[in-house]
Amino acid sequence: KLDFDTMTKEDLLKANNQKVKLIVDEIDFYIFINIKPNNQRLLVHTNGAINIKKSQPPVFLRNSWRDDFDANCLFIDDRTIHDSEVNLGWGLGTKERHYVNDYARISQKVSQLLNVEDNQVTYYGSSGGGFVSILLATLHNHSRAIVNNPQTYVHRYRKKNVVDAYQVVFEDMEFEAVNKMYANRVSSTSLMKKCNRVPEILYVQNRLSDEDMENHVIPFIRMLDKYQLDSSKINFLLY
C-alpha cells in the first residue's frame, strides 16, 4: 500500500512486478508496475472489458506480456467497475470524480519518478481501454497513444453496456443528460477541444468492423474537423 503524495522511486522499485494499492485523495486505486533497469521508456496499459467470470477486479489486462516490451510497464486497473456487475467502465469514475484524471496523475508521477521524458510515454489499450488511452495522452503533453479498435465516444458504443455503466456511475441521470453534462468524460474530441491538444495517436482499426467505422472512426474525424483541431499527429492504420 502506497500513498500517492509521498510515493518515491524506491517505493516503486520495492513494488516491482507486484500489485500496488495506491491511495490518491482518500480513494484506493490499483496498479501493477514493471520496472526494467536503465530503461528510458514507459508503456501504460489501460483496461477494456474484463471477463468477470474469469477474474474479479482489480484486473491488469495484458500483464503477462510485460517482459515482451522494451519499456517499463504500468498497468492501471479501472476502479469504476469495482463492486458492480458491469465489466467495462471507460474510467468514468463516480458522479463527483472522473477517474481518468486520477490515472493521468498516477501515470505522470510514475514517469517522473522513473525519469522518463514525456515524449517517451506511450498509452496503450484496445476497445474501451483505447478510449481511456486517448484521454490519458490528451491530458499528458508530449505523450502518445497506440490504440486498437478503440471507442472514441462512450455513448456510441452498444447501448446496453453504456446504460449499465451510466447507472453505476451517474445513477438515475438521463442518458442524454450525461452525454451533455459529462461530455469531457464520454467524448474524446470534447476533451481535446477543452485541452486544446490532439496527441500523437497511432489508431489501428479493423476496417471491416462497420460498427466501429460508423460509430467511432468517422464521427471522430468529423468532430476533429468541426472543432478545427489539428489532426496531423493522428495516423490511421486500417487492416
- Residue spans per domain, the chain: 2-238
Task: Enter the pTM of the model.
Answer: 0.97
- What pLDDT was estimated at residue 55? 84
Angstrom distances, CA of residue 145 to CA of 27, 150, 185, 210:
26, 11, 17, 23
pLDDT-based confidence at residue 3 (cuts at 50, 70, 90): very high
- What pLDDT was estimated at residue 155? 98
pLDDT digits (tens, 9 = 90+) for 188-233: 999 999 999 999 999 999 999 999 999 999 999 999 999 999 999 9
Which architecture characterizes domain 2-238 according to CATH? 3-Layer(aba) Sandwich (3.40)
Return the number of other C-beta atoms located less than 10 Å from residue 115's C-beta: 10
Which residue do the cell numbers 468532430 mark? 223
pLDDT digits (tens, 9 = 90+) for 117-151: 999 999 999 999 999 999 999 999 999 999 999 99
Q: How far apart are CA 105 and CA 89, in angstroms?
A: 18
> All 3 cell numbers of residue 82?
469495482
The strand order across the sheet containing 2-3 reads 2-3, 18-24, 27-34, 72-76, 42-46, 121-126, 144-148, 200-205, 234-238
Question: Residue 75: beta bridge partners?
Answer: 32, 45
Angle between the N-to-C axes of helices 128-139 and 188-195, in degrees from 0 to 180, rounded to the nearest 10: 0
44 pLDDT higher than 90: yes
DSSP class of residue 69 equals: S
Phi, psi of 153 (to 5 degrees): -135, 125
> All 3 cell numbers of residue 116?
522518463
Query: pLDDT > 90: what percent of the chain?
Result: 94
Q: How far apart are CA 80 and CA 92, in angstroms?
A: 6
> All 3 cell numbers of residue 49?
472489458
168 pLDDT higher than 90: yes
DSSP class of residue 187 equals: B
Angle between the N-to-C axes of helices 128-139 and 99-113, in degrees from 0 to 180, rounded to the nearest 10: 60
Question: Residue 235: beta bridge partners?
Answer: 202
